[in-house]
Chain A
């Protein structure tokens, strides 16, 4: 092989440069946030379907709800345990998960997804949120910016 040293040195430099960002950041990954349950949600003990299902498929569930309510006029959800719920993000989901900033937003921000639910659907006033919490501050900032309050 011609230019053996040059090639091997080149490969080593390339590998080092290429893997540098991965090695540099290894072990420093931001841990996935844990959605915080509100007191109401804690008291209820369980969501309308299993935790695993809600974790993986809540967006699909909400999509189906939207179609059923708006387009088919069906408003009652029969959960797999036989219980019935009013299919409403604003009135059913947010009744328990009243802490949007610390339940919904944590993961959505982490995963960088921007559902546009809240452009129209109203977020319940977050009661009992200490004013020092980052969530509350962001919320106030957003509101001040958007509604000039």
Chain B
């Protein structure tokens, strides 16, 4: 026998040590040379950054025209198909009556001026998003850097758990090929469509923020002030100032999802 047990163990121990130490030794002597082949990525210089994006809806400043403008801007920017019927419709931003938006506060004697008023609603980009918790493929995820609840359409398997989990009905499923419901001559060439069998929702215009633009709906309502977008995580931001100056409520706050869309609802006498 060439090697006895003692020698074999010594050899094996030394080899294991060499194997474990080689990588760190390499890193120590020639730092970075092992990753040299890796590609480099970055962000656009003009990108808007924040720690926790949020939106404030000022109901007193909204009117039908502005609502239409906001919805149209969003849906045409993101190639959202218009499908008739509540079952198969696809929506990123839409309207609901007060009792659907704030069901817990509804008591049958609603302030007159809020009756039949369309409330604009969208994904709340919750701080604790239940849709993210239930997604089995991590197709829905919360971006660590700015809190946007995003969707990776490449990963969505269409199980619709997220739709069941979302307490705000902010998610739509593509029951059929959305391109059938889009005017393919008028689609926004800069943004993809979706395919049949995936869930979609508002993405807080992540693709616009990346190139320094504010969300399409906020841009569309102009300087009416009906929508404000900004970094709720930054105490110096404009949105935080609005939150300081106004009484704001959030949808279904008691569920603990910590929505990042705030509503200003004034009583009738307090505004012009």
Report A's interface with B, CB cutoff 8 A.
64, 66, 68, 70-78, 80, 84, 86-87, 90-91, 116, 119-122, 124, 143, 146-149
Contact = CB atoms under 8 A, between A and B. Distances in A.
Interface residues of B, number: 30
A94 B39 CA distance: 21
A149 B154 CA distance: 27
B44 A76 contact: yes
B43 A74 contact: yes
Interface string B186-210: 0101111111000000000010001
A64 B194 CA distance: 20
Nearest to B146: A73
B39 A124 contact: no
B133 interface: no
A73 B195 contact: no
By secondary structure, the A interface counts as mixed
A70 B154 contact: yes
B271 to A, nearest CB: 38
Contacts of A149: 184
A70 B150 contact: yes
B41 A122 contact: no
A136 B208 CA distance: 33
Contacts of A72: 41
A87 B39 CA distance: 12
A64 B153 CA distance: 15
Interface of B: 39-44, 47, 141, 143, 145-146, 150, 152-154, 177, 179-180, 184, 187, 189-195, 206, 210-211
B40 A66 contact: no
B177 A146 contact: yes
A71 B150 CA distance: 8
B145 A66 contact: no
Contacts of A124: 189
Nearest to B190: A91
B188 to A, nearest CB: 9
A90 B42 contact: no
Contact of A120 (B41, B141, B195): B195
Nearest to A121: B192
A120 B43 contact: no
A77 B192 contact: no
A143 B187 CA distance: 15
A90 B210 contact: no
Given A90-B189, A124-B189, A147-B180, A73 B145 contact: yes
A91 B211 CA distance: 14
Contact of A74 (B41, B153, B193): B41
Contact of B43 (A76, A119, A148): A76
Contact of A68 (B41, B141, B192): B41
28 contacts: A66-B154, A70-B154, A71-B150, A71-B152, A73-B143, A74-B41, A75-B41, A75-B47, A75-B211, A76-B41, A76-B43, A77-B41, A78-B40, A78-B42, A86-B44, A87-B41, A90-B189, A90-B190, A91-B190, A120-B153, A120-B193, A120-B194, A120-B195, A122-B189, A122-B192, A146-B180, A147-B180, A149-B184
Contacts of A76: 41-44
A90 B190 CA distance: 7
B150 to A, nearest CB: 7
Nearest to A143: B184
A78 B145 CA distance: 21
A71 B141 contact: yes
A92 B145 CA distance: 25
A72 B150 CA distance: 11
Given A70-B152, A73-B206, A122 B177 contact: no
Given A74-B42, A75-B43, A146 B179 contact: yes
